Copies of this chain bind each other. A is one copy, B any other.
Amino acid sequence: MTRTRRARLKVTVAADLVILTIRDGRLNVLVVERANEPFAGELALPGGFLRGGESLDDTAARELAEETGMDAASLHLEQVGVYSAPDRDPRDPRVIASAYLAIAPDLPLPTAGSDARAATWLPVERVRETGLAFDHDEILRDAVELARVKLQFTTLATAFCGAEFTIGDLREVYEVVWGVQLDKPNFHRKVTDAEGFLVATGGKRPTVNGRPAALYRAGPARELTPPMMRPRRATQSA
């Protein structure tokens, strides 16, 4: 597009994944231990390189299927941004990454055996302390922030749940991702009133000691109107 034909820089492009789920009341992210240099032995986000005939969305979907064993088409997957600082890879200064956010229900475990990489769930809070390779700390931060915003305006929260879930499950998603306590009665009304957000299956799930909760599945709506309001201040760390 420049009229003077300048040598076009060719670069390698990776799709890196921030796969989030909720385990034991905490927000977890899937991380892998790197087998090769650079950063061999350190933790990093899973990812892979763009192949011929693929779009980056395809690359991300393929990697997601490989890492989690789940059908990528059924999971939520969306772009976070491009990370292209010249020094982000200490060996090859010309590797740029397109980051993707994926939301998954609490899987039994990632398919650890199928791939030599040690892929594990770790609480986001802990990962922030120990740190990740490359600029993956920054990517993780941006992806989590995106998830937080998306919860507010879209029906994304259902992607954290399985096919059937209770309103309590859904409320836990919001409380864990936002790190707040929400008022149960108001939350119940809010989500049941939102058109297309939830569809009652008619079933009920018994609780440990309490009234059984009605079961729902995700409705057709993608946008959440009116949006879910975020409390001004966090009440409890989650």
In A44-59, the 8 Å CB interface with B consists of 44, 46-57
Segment of A1-9, A120-128, A161-169, A196-204 in the binding face? A1-9
A14: which B residues are within 8 A, CB to CB?
1
Do residues A56 and B3 form an inter-chain contact, with CB atoms below 8 A?
no
A51: which B residues are within 8 A, CB to CB?
6, 9
Judge if A36 is at the interface, Cβ distance under 8 Å.
yes
Do residues B53 and A82 form an inter-chain contact, with CB atoms below 8 A?
no
Q: Nearest Cβ distance between residue A222 and chain B, in whole angstroms? A: 14
In the complex with contacts A55-B84, A116-B3, A9-B12 CB distance below 8 A:
yes
Judge if A35 is at the interface, Cβ distance under 8 Å.
yes
A3's partner among B35, B44, B50 (CB-CB below 8 A) is: B35
In the complex with contacts A53-B86, A82-B82, A98-B82, A47-B1 CB distance below 8 A:
yes
Judge if A81 is at the interface, Cβ distance under 8 Å.
yes
A82: which B residues are within 8 A, CB to CB?
56, 79, 82, 98
Copies of this protein in the assembly total: 2
Interface of A is mostly: loop
A11's partner among B2, B13, B84 (CB-CB below 8 A) is: B13
CB-defined A-B contacts under 8 Å, sample of 11 = A2-B49, A3-B117, A8-B49, A9-B50, A9-B51, A10-B12, A13-B13, A50-B96, A55-B84, A79-B82, A82-B82
Interface set of A (CB-CB < 8 Å, partner B): 1-3, 6, 8-14, 34-36, 44, 46-57, 79, 81-82, 84-86, 93-94, 96, 98, 115-117
Q: Which 7 A-B pairs have the closest CB atoms?
A: A10-B10, A56-B84, A55-B84, A8-B12, A55-B85, A82-B98, A1-B47
